[in-house]
Chains A and B, each alone.
Chain A
Amino acid sequence: MLRFLAAPLCLSVLVLAACAAPPSDLDVSLKRPTDAGKFIVTLQPPQAAPAINQIHSWTINVATPAGAPVQGARISVDGGMPQHGHGLPTRPRVTRELANGDYLMEGMKFSMTGWWEIKLAIEAAGAADKVTFNRVIETRVGH
């Protein structure tokens, strides 16, 4: 009988989890090889976590599998929330090549908490490859 009473409670928790929580095995690492292994890409988020709906910049580092910096890469940015079926609220772009395989990605914005994908398509020295990063934006309270 106790279990019976507990059921609605657990159910509500599970339903919430199904709607709002990212998969428990989500890989959120910021350094990843591209899909075909042609590059190693490292994303560097801003030092202070941006607020929801605040536009901010990231740094992208592109290296060869051997670790040498890749220069002159053309990088396009896409992404969105796979659980909600919508894209990014802005259209971020790589606006500048910095030094040592670093690139500045401007115009990033997250309009809500939850699981976001950041997808990069990279072309450099005749090679093209893609990589997807996962980012979980948490509820920030008391800012």
Chain B
Amino acid sequence: VSVTRFTHGTVKEVDEMRTRVSVFAALAAALLAAAPWVSGFERDAGRNVAAERWTTEEIAILASLRLRELPPAPDDETNAVAKVPAAAALGKRLFNDARFSRDGTVSCASCHAENKQFQDGIPLARGVATGTRRTMPIVGAAYSPWLFWDGRKDSLWSQALGPLEDPAEHGGNRTRYAQLMQAHYRVEYEALFGAMPDISKLPRDAGPAGTPGEKSAWNQLDRDSRHAVNRIFSNIGKAIAAYERTLTYQESRFDHYVNGVLERNARARATLTPQEISGLRLFIGKGQCATCHNGPLLTDQHFHNTGVPQRDPKRADFGRAAAVERVQRDEFNCLGPVSDAEGTNCDELRFIVSDDPALEAAFKTPSLRNVALRPPYMHAGQFATLEEVVAHYVKSPPAAVGHNELAHKAPHGVRKPIQLSASEIQDLVAFLGTLSSPIVEATLR
């Protein structure tokens, strides 16, 4: 039995296990000759062998998904302390400090729990009230030009400010937070950001997103007072962002496997089971997952409508389409008065897509790192298991709002529908389990 003939001349020789392959083929050929009716075995033998071999093109795709290909998180020029260790240390304390909430019970860590993948494991986030979307993971967020499921924030620090004054999350207000900083973190704050202005005479509770009374109190503040409070408030976000940047993934079994393929290391290649390898092949092949889940974080950082059912059909969630104007008008965006981005271009904001119908009910592609460890799934926790998620993509139903990019009758383009058998869905889910790894906090120096 010739290996060259076996590979049919279309697959380049990339496997060090020629011997094993030829033994497989010879064995299969002998068995088939003896009993031509064992078609199940034919398929299994072919599949096992196929699962071990990758073309040059496939290897290039696999290599591009390795954690090793992840560059350092892009600099955030809007946050002068993004990489300052003392800011990260302060940010970590603020992240875990429940005083920064309406009733003193909710910190960032309440929903972004360290022992739950910095998420909460429930469909809809629960702060001082219940929200309308799923808590997002934090690790790797610094790579994203747009934050939240709908990208309504354009930096990690600006993102951190959203929940602090969201009535359903921390539910607090800006002057309260600024005064808390003055009371409990003044030394650390001033070492990073300079002297704090005197805000002791300002009302205890005032903010533009609060109760009618808080809004009214905020509107009565003079411009300088509002700016002073906004600066302290934004610096809370900048410290928290510095902490969040220190959280990273380690290499997963998938990364070890791909390293093994590239380095021709048979032991590393044995890291994945045949079923997981089969799932990986589907992931980059006919499952089309890697179309959007690309790069080392397995996300294109973009927004897509994939026909995920609305959590509450009576109150439709328009996703990205409703967020574009919000981020453009956000006083805490790249171009705003407390952004440190002097002289930078704010290109993401300048060249934002604002009028594409594809933004209707589009949500951000999440990273798939550690995905198996953090059910439930989708932007409002609509699916409890990965099997349900993959089955949804195979079904690709029409979207209730906007247009499902994956719908089987796409209005434009030549994309083929995703078609997977029940066992292929299982293989794909098995593969997703190989993307898990510990989360580590980079050492602060």
Knowing A5-B45, A16-B57, A84-B415, say if A55 contacts B348 (CB, 8 Å).
Answer: yes
Chain A residue nearest in CB terms to B24: A5
**A90 CA to B412 CA in the complex, in Å?**
19
Of A15, A84, A106, A113, which is within 8 A of B405 by CB?
Answer: A84
Task: Mark interface residues in B380-418 (1 if CB within 8 Å of A CB, else 0).
Answer: 000000000000000000000000010000111111100
Identify the closest chain A residue to B57 (Cβ). A16
CB of B78 to closest CB in A, whole Å: 15
Closest to B11 in A: A9
- A51 and B64 CA atoms in complex are apart in Å by 12
Q: Closest A-chain residue to B59, C-beta based?
A: A141
Q: Is B64 within 8 A of A113, CB to CB?
A: yes
Q: Are B351 and A83 in contact (CB under 8 A)?
A: no
A3 to B9, CA, bound (A): 11
Q: Residues of B contacting A143 with CB < 8 Å? A: 69, 71
Known: A86-B405, A87-B358, A143-B71. 6 other contacts (CB 8 A): A4-B32, A5-B42, A7-B46, A13-B10, A53-B295, A87-B353
Count CB-based A-B contacts (< 8 Å): 146
Tell me the bound Cα distance from A20 to B281 in angstroms. 13
- Contact indicator B50/A8 (Cβ below 8 Å): yes
Please determine whether B63 and A141 come into contact, CB atoms closer than 8 angstroms: yes
Closest residue of B by beta carbon distance from A56: B347
Partner of A111, one of B8, B25, B281, B301: B301
Contact of A86 among B60, B358, B416 (CB under 8 A): B358
Q: Which of B181-189, B282-290, B310-318, B433-441 sits within the interface? A: B282-290
22 A-B pairs whose Cβ atoms sit less than 8 Å apart in the complex? A8-B43, A9-B8, A9-B10, A9-B53, A10-B10, A12-B286, A13-B10, A16-B55, A20-B285, A53-B301, A55-B348, A85-B415, A87-B353, A88-B353, A89-B300, A90-B348, A106-B350, A112-B294, A139-B61, A141-B63, A141-B69, A143-B71
| Chain A residues touching B, range | 35 or more
Q: Output the least CB separation between A107 and chain B (Å).
A: 3
How far is it, in angstroms, between the C-alpha of A85 and the C-alpha of B405 when the chains are bound?
A: 7
B220 CB within 8 Å of chain A = no
Complexed CA–CA distance, A140 and B66 (Å) = 12
A5–B358 alpha-carbon span in the complex (Å):
43
B46 & A9 in contact (Cβ 8 Å cutoff): yes
Q: Mark A10-48, 1 if CB is under 8 A from B, else 0.
A: 101101101111000000000000000000000000000
Residues of B within 8 A of A18 (CB): 416
A72→B261 CA distance, assembly (Å): 54
- Which residues 196-230 of B sit at the A interface, judged by CB distance below 8 A? none
User: Are B49 and A5 in contact, with the CB atoms below 8 A?
Assistant: yes
Report the minimum CB–CB distance from A76 to chain B (whole Å). Answer: 12
Q: Contact at A13–B55, with CB atoms within 8 Å?
A: yes
Is A6 located at the chain interface by the 8 A CB criterion?
yes
* Alpha-carbon gap, A12 to B55, bound state (A): 10
B residues 332-382 in Cβ contact with A at 8 Å: 347-348, 350-354, 356, 358
Cβ–Cβ < 8 Å partners of A21 in chain B = 57
Q: How far is the CB of B410 from chain A (nearest CB, A)?
A: 5
Q: Are B63 and A12 in contact (CB under 8 A)?
A: no
A8 and chain B: residue at smallest CB distance: B46
Please determine whether B351 and A55 come into contact, CB atoms closer than 8 angstroms.
yes
Contact assessment for B286 and A15 in the assembled complex, using a CB-CB cutoff below 8 Å: yes
| Contact flags A127-143 to B (C-beta < 8 A → 1, else 0) | 00000000000011111
Contacts of A65 in B (CB 8 A): none
A60 vs B258: C-alpha distance in the bound complex, in angstroms?
Answer: 40
Top 8 A-B pairs, shortest CB-CB distance:
A107-B351, A85-B413, A90-B351, A8-B46, A6-B8, A55-B347, A111-B300, A15-B286
Decide yes or no: A2 and B5 within 8 Å by CB, A9-B46, A13-B10, A106-B351 being known contacts: yes
